[in-house]
Amino acid sequence: MSLTLAKGRFDAVNGPVLTIVLDGVGLGPKDEGNAWFNARTPVLDAAMERYGYISLAAHGLAVGLPSDGDMGNSEVGHNALGAGRIFSQGARLCNEAIEGGSIFEGETWKWLIEGVKASGEPLHFIGLLSDGNVHSHEKHLHAMLRRAAEEGVRKVRIHILLDGRDVGETSALTYVERLDAVLDDINMSGYHDFQIASGGGRMVVTMDRYEANWGMVDLGWKLHVKGEGRGFRSANQAIETFRAEQPGITDQFLPGFVVVDENGSPVGPIHEGASVVLFNFRGDRAIEISRAFEDETMPHFDRGPKLNVRYAGIMQYDGDLKLPKHFLVAPPAIDRTLGEHLAFNKISQFACAETQKFGHVTYFWNGNRTGRFDDELETYVEVPSDNVPFEQRPWMKAAEVVDATIAALESGKYRYLRLNLANGDMVGHTGSLDAAIIAMEAVDISLGRLLKAIEKANGVALITADHGNCDEMFERKKDGSFKADAQGRITPRTSHTLNQVPAILFDPKGQVKAKLAKTVEKPGLANVAATMLELMGFEPPADYEPSLLK
């Protein structure tokens, strides 16, 4: 498809066009757990009142994730903002990587295999054993087991988490039997020693999320890594015993277990020199166990010193935190982004963020592409982030990012500009409500300076976000009330949210002869690119998600 842009249905605005990404600022419940709601933000308040706003989906299907139960993140959010289309992530990418074989051709798979061949330790797999296709799929595990056998890996241990939530409540034995059939087939050679080593229900062992119960991860660490727990000769025996002891129990709540040999010794503790793969592709319940393997220190439970193993996820679960460092399936191949179209049509561009989000307004915005499309037309400015905990300096580098962007606006060199203010996300991740409130006030002050510069330059701006975070700083129970510990202290939330994000069209001189509107049934981040093109007077590419101008 051609990169040439045709004249659109609207006249172009006279001055520069700017996209402002307020990272991690969603439309959450207006209560004491919402940092934005509790902050003093007169600039944002006034802009929303004067120009109105619409809500954009920034999670789940709207950004290419497997389901609407999946939190958005900065990587897929900026992919969608810059690409103008929705590209598959997660389950579909893993399917394609396994079916096409690219997962086994990458450096991470080779690194994992080389590690265990050199050490003689087993290759370990941890993950949800089912075909629910929400967090994982058994066929991904089966394929990796067969490939490891083909490549001469002698010993493999599997640590299975039992579902009963995305599949039938008591279907665990079906999946164990299918896995056993794969293992039996591999072990027939007499050379291989592939076994299930430990397991337990997903709501009891390992798969905590939002730091709600680190005890689940602690238990998983004891079972999977240390081989400590109630012993059984097989996973089948464990499941059947628990069901007999607790009639009516469902798979997701089955207790943890360890598979032992004839002498009662665990068959598969994870020792130094091993390689470990977490085969869950969905991130929310994969982050904490990944941190247990990768963080230098672990204050949440008595892990002991960091284990010297080669650890990888089937996906990277948090791009902000680069967690885990190694992963098997690469991000999607994205072409014909907003930036590429503009560069091809000789439109000058400027992008700015501090270090924490610089890659998001460049690499991810440009479709996971390193470098510029046109060195003469594009300027990228990285403001070095402070090397201190974000809750100790919640204003971060918002002022400096805005300084650089104002200078770019005043230069008159750039037709299209984009920037990211990282405070709402990075401070939101700390779990400190007080710091997040200050972060939002710093963002608002900086936004006020920026909007004055836009008005002076005779331009317009679209203010939005890539996902929610600081809009919910406390964990909630199912009834919506806040969770608290035994001492009555409210449990902080440090993860992204499922909330939608605002989109505000700042047009101080009334240049745009249209309103920002819900032009499609479920508007999302991918609709922003076409909107920006129309503000510049261009017709969006035919396959882009529709513009939000009406």
366 and 424: one domain? yes
Average pLDDT over residues 184-210: 95
pLDDT, one tens digit per residue, over 260-279 is: 999 999 999 999 999 999 99
Residue 442 CA to residue 427 CA, distance in Å, equals 12
Mean pLDDT of the chain: 95
127 and 190: one domain? yes
| Residue 1 confidence (pLDDT) | 80
| Residue 207 confidence (pLDDT) | 96
401 and 274: one domain? no
Residues forming the active site: 74
Please, where are the H alpha helices in 287-337? 287-294
| Residue 320 confidence (pLDDT) | 63
Domain-embedded: residue 326: no
Closest CA to 57 of 36, 43, 77, 41: 77
237 and 371: one domain? no
Residue 456 CA to residue 508 CA, distance in Å, equals 10
Domain-embedded: residue 132: yes
pLDDT, one tens digit per residue, over 518-543 is: 999 999 999 999 999 999 999 999 99
Average pLDDT over residues 96-101: 94
Say if CB 426 and CB 24 are below 8 A apart: yes
pLDDT, one tens digit per residue, over 104-155 is: 999 999 999 999 999 999 999 999 999 988 889 999 999 999 999 999 999 9
Say if CB 21 and CB 503 are below 8 A apart: no
Domain-embedded: residue 540: no
Domain-embedded: residue 288: yes
For residue 205, pLDDT over 90 is answered with yes
| Residue 211 confidence (pLDDT) | 82
Say if CB 126 and CB 275 are below 8 A apart: no
**Of 311 and 370, more confident:** 311
How many other β-carbons are positioned within 10 Å of the β-carbon of residue 491?
Answer: 17
**Percent of all residues in the chain with a pLDDT value above 70, rounded to a whole number:** 100
Task: Give this prediction's pTM.
Answer: 0.78
Average pLDDT over residues 221-232: 98
| Residue 492 confidence (pLDDT) | 87
510 and 384: one domain? yes
Task: Indicate the number of domains in the chain.
Answer: 2
Domain-embedded: residue 178: yes
351 and 457: one domain? yes
Please write down the HEC assignment for all residues of 359-398: HHHHHHCCCCCCCCCCCCCEEEEEECCCCCCHHHCCCCCH
Domain that holds residue 284: 91-313
SS3 label, residue 50: helix
169 and 294: one domain? yes
For residue 23, pLDDT over 90 is answered with yes
Domain-embedded: residue 319: no
105 burial type by CB count under 10 A (0-12 exposed, 13-18 middle, 19+ buried): exposed
Please report, for residues 12, 447, 521, the alpha-carbon distance to residue 527 in angstroms, rounded to integers and kept in the order given. 18, 23, 12
304 and 371: one domain? no
Residue 34 CA to residue 36 CA, distance in Å, equals 6
479 and 517: one domain? yes
For residue 236, pLDDT over 90 is answered with yes
CATH number for the domain harbouring residue 158: 3.40.1450.10
507: which residues sit within 8 A by CB, 6+ positions away? 13, 51, 460
Say if CB 311 and CB 290 are below 8 A apart: yes
For residue 71, pLDDT over 70 is answered with yes
148 and 233: one domain? yes
pLDDT, one tens digit per residue, over 462-482 is: 999 999 999 999 988 888 899
| Residue 496 confidence (pLDDT) | 86
302 and 429: one domain? no
Domain-embedded: residue 320: no
Domain-embedded: residue 387: yes
Residue 421 CA to residue 419 CA, distance in Å, equals 7
CATH number for the domain harbouring residue 40: 3.40.720.10
65 and 129: one domain? no
Closest CA to 22 of 465, 500, 499, 532: 465
Confidence of residue 545 (pLDDT cuts 50, 70, 90): very high
pLDDT, one tens digit per residue, over 156-178 is: 999 999 998 888 889 999 999 99
